[in-house]
Amino acid sequence: MADLLEQTRAALHDELALFDAVAGGAEDGDLAGAVLPLIRQDQERAVLVAALRLYAAACLVESCQLVRAGRPWPEAVHAIDRGLIRAGVALRARMRQLADQMLAALAPAAPPQRAQVLLASADAGAPPARPVPVLRDPDAVSLTEYLAAPPAGADARGLAPVHLTAVAAHWPALARWNSVAYLLGQTHAGERLVPVEIGRSYVAAQWSQDLVPMRVLLDRIAAGETVYLAQHNLFHQVPALHADVLMPDCVYTDLPGKPDETAVVSNCWLGAAGTVSPLHYDEHDNVLVQVVGCKLVRLYAPGPAGLYGDGTAVAGNTCGVDVDAGSGSTAAAAAYRARHAGFRWHDGYVECVLRPGDGLFIPAGWWHYVRALTASFSVNYWF
Ligand SMILES: O=C(O)CCC(=O)C(=O)O
């Protein structure tokens, strides 16, 4: 371990010098905590990139210091996890290497076993009245052929959502990720730190974010708390989970306006029943794949948020209308619908329920609202 710590320190010479200049010393105190306020999305890109790199370096140095001080190994790995979660690509390879080597050297081999499952049984409810068209077990060729004749309700690119049933039926993850013991085992007894959102949705009044060990997230899901590991590339932290999935080759579909080479960005979504991604759109085409549990997805064709009544965007790409608040037969829901009378509550959308092994093709720009009907684990691919 001593060699590794020295190598890390030598490799970070430039960052440490910068840290000395900015924050007055790399030896003492909470290095990463001191650097964190420097990461601000509103600053010039070059400054943000430098701040992210500095933060990653501070996390690495802090981690080494914790090992040297003889602190329990999860503390040292948590310091690296904070860097992996917050610093994007900055020093990612070095952080992954140090985390792997530390875990191999310090963490106990056999994690405690728990027989529990993420989800005991699933009731996906009634099929939606306005279903997304279904294509069974598609590949890039069949999806390209299907989309060649623009489907009903297609957007300006000639695209519309497609429910890709059984697209991931062969993934090892389908047989593994429902096991809490398996998830704990792949994350060093659940000690790896992960980001969680606490509250029904990121536009709800009572909503916050935290970093917690995976075991805490799994306990909270089991306790029925509305917690969500959302839009996080867990695969960068835990490559063993990446080995359980196979990127659907639909991401190679020949779509209008697409360059030949596009980068694919993948994220994990693990949470309790009732978590919601509010109505929003993304700039990339997407395949959302369900591994554990069921999700309801409602989609509206691209258009300005104003098209849907006074649902002004609250976060650039997020509609201000709360689909949940206006759904159902209560007086409160009816009053909410009346307040947002221009919103298309009763038409203009399609819906589907994703079950384990299913995927959903969501073309760029399509508004989508997603609600977990059960505890749920999904993976998405933006391409
Ligand atoms: O599953 C979710 O909660 C949201 C997924 C999503 O918004 C996406 O894949 O773009």
State how far the Cα of 379 lies from the Cα of 288, in Å rounded to an integer.
Answer: 6
Specify whether 213 is located in the same domain as 258.
yes
Specify whether 163 is located in the same domain as 295.
yes
User: Looking at this protein, which amino acid is placed at residue 311?
Assistant: G
Q: What is the pLDDT of residue 26?
A: 46
Residue 120's φ and ψ, nearest 5 degrees, are -80, -45
Q: What is the pLDDT of residues 219-278, one digit of tens each?
A: 999 999 999 999 999 999 999 999 999 999 889 888 888 887 778 999 999 999 999 999
Specify whether 174 is located in the same domain as 285.
yes
User: Looking at this protein, which amino acid is placed at residue 55?
Assistant: Y
Specify whether 151 is located in the same domain as 255.
yes
Specify whether 33 is located in the same domain as 156.
no
Q: What is the pLDDT of residue 126?
A: 84
Specify whether 199 is located in the same domain as 57.
no
Specify whether 65 is located in the same domain as 171.
no
- Residue 8 included in any domain: yes
H/E element, 185: helix 180-186
Which of 231, 287, 381 maximizes ligand 1 atoms within 8 Å of its Cβ, making it the mutation to test the pocket? 231
Specify whether 143 is located in the same domain as 270.
yes
Specify whether 141 is located in the same domain as 273.
yes
Strand partners of residue 286: 362, 382
Specify whether 89 is located in the same domain as 179.
no
For tokens 């993420």, the residue is 118
The DSSP result for 19-74, as a single string, is HHHHHS-SSSS-HHHHHGGG--TTS-HHHHHHHHHHHHHHHHHHHHHHHHTT--HH
**Domain span holding position 56:** 2-106
- Residue 95 included in any domain: yes
Ligand 1 centroid–CA 165 distance in Å is 17
Q: What is the pLDDT of residues 309-345, one digit of tens each?
A: 555 555 678 888 889 999 999 999 999 999 888 888 9
- Residue 124 included in any domain: no
Specify the ligand 1 atom closest to the Cα of 295.
1
Ligand 1 centroid–CA 277 distance in Å is 6
Among 106, 125, 146, the domain boundary falls at 106
Specify the ligand 1 atom closest to the Cα of 282.
10
Q: Which residue stretches of the chain have pLDDT < 70?
A: 1-2, 4-5, 8-9, 12-29, 110-114, 304-315
Whether residue 282 has its Cβ less than 6 Å from ligand 1: yes
